[in-house]
Amino acid sequence: MIAERQTRVLNNVQAINEALDLALAQDPRVVVFGEDVGTMGGVFRASDGLQQKYGERRVFDTPLAESGIVGFGIGLAMAGLRPVAEIQFAGFLYPALDQILSHLGRMRHRTRGRFTIPMVIRAPYGGGVKTPEQHADSPEAILTHVPGVKVVIPSSPERTKGLLLAAIEDPDPVFFLEAIKLYRGVKGEVPEGYYTLPLGRARVVREGSAASLFCYGGMVEVCLKAAEVAAREGVELEVVDLETLIPLDTQTLLASVQKTGRAVVVYEAMRTGGFGAEIAARIAEEALDYLQAPIVRVAGWDAPYPPFSAVENHYRPDAKRVLEAVRKVLTH
């Protein structure tokens, strides 16, 4: 059905803007709020023009306080609204961790379903665009360790739009992390009108037989680039975009490992305790017999993300490091 629709070429920010616009139009319970999301339209312009269109009751600026924003959203959601909060950068989520860990994820459980939090928290994450300290953090592993939330990290405009609309419809809290590098760095055909894509599905974005690259968000682009380089040498890599970390589509990733027998996990957060460790563990637990080489992780180093670029390219995984890992699993 979506395939039959008219499409336009949009970048990720435009796709987000369109999704928010459609959600606000479709469901009067939806409210969009955060720092600078109103008049300014968000630091990345994701909510551009929406306050003018829907008014200050539906799209509003808040005080500069992340715990307040998340807590306020929890309250709005419990009372029957569909809040979509923007945290200016995922690295600014830390002041809100008490709200996230103590309540956002567990309110349904601790009230036996009496109160639920159908809330979306959008936050730009990840590096590659020369930002100051904290602006390039990838805190997804912290979020995936919170029971009761979902974590979605899309990598293309078409997916971003459909997944964001699905996240807003979802009855549970969803973190929607948007790779800053992809905001304007990728463009793609995006179907017109309202459509949703199911959460909890990984997708094979490039088929191959030599090894599987597991990635998400900003690393999909990097892995696709590595796969192109490898293809020139006759090595066909499979690239799997996990897309939803929680709930994780284990089936798709195991099927890929069963097919290729080799796995490289790529993520830009620091290596230790990162979500890639979870992927590696799942593969080891459930598909060890198919593996022809140890699983290799390509990740950020165990250090804070370096600000202002000079050395950022040495921290953030690139195609070269991915290919080194591929060589390792192929020559084991």
Partner 1 sequence: MDTVQYLDDHGKPLRDIPLSNEALLIGYRALRRARHFDERALVLQRQGRLGVYPPFRGQEAAQVGVALCLKADHDWLLPSYRESAAALTFGMPISKLILSWRADPAGWGAPPNVNMVQFYIPIATQIPQAAGVAHAQRLLGKDAVAAVFIGDGGTSEGDFHEGLNFASVFNAPLLVVVQNNGWAISVPTQKQMKVQRIAQKAQGYGIPGITVDGNDLVAVWSVAREAVERARRGEGPTLIEALTYRVAPHTSSDDPSRYRTEEETERWLKRDPLLRMKNCLLHLGLWSEAQEALLTEELEAEFLSAVEEADRAPEPKPWEIVEQVYQEMQPDQQAAWNYLRGEA
The residues of the shown chain that bind partner 1, judged by CB under 8 A, are: 31, 57, 62-63, 65, 67-68, 70-81, 83, 95, 98-99, 102-103, 107-116, 147-148, 150, 171-172, 200, 246-248, 250
Using CB atoms within 10 A of its CB, is residue 328 exposed (0-12), middle (13-18) or buried (19+)? middle
Q: How far is the CB of 119 from partner 1 (least distance, A)?
A: 10
Residue 105 or 157 with smaller CB distance to partner 1: 105
Cβ atoms within 10 Å of 101's Cβ, excluding its own: 17
Question: Residue 322: phi, psi to the nearest 5?
Answer: -65, -40
Residue whose CB is less far from partner 1, 56 or 228: 56
Q: Would you say 196 and 162 are in contact if contact means Cβ atoms under 8 Å apart? A: yes
How far apart CA 167 and CA 152 sit, in angstroms, is 8
**How many other CB atoms sit within 10 Å of the CB of residue 60?**
15
Instruction: Select 113 or 234, whichever has its Cβ closest to partner 1.
Output: 113
Angle in degrees, CA 216, 49, 10, rounded to 5: 40
Question: Backbone phi, then psi, for 187, in 5-degree steps?
Answer: -130, 155
Which of 109, 135, 145, 332 is labelled catalytic? 135
Q: Which is nearer to partner 1, 79 or 303 (CB)?
A: 79
Is position 135 annotated as part of the catalytic site? yes
- Helix ranges restricted to H, 127-188: 140-144, 157-169, 180-183
Which residue numbers are catalytic?
135
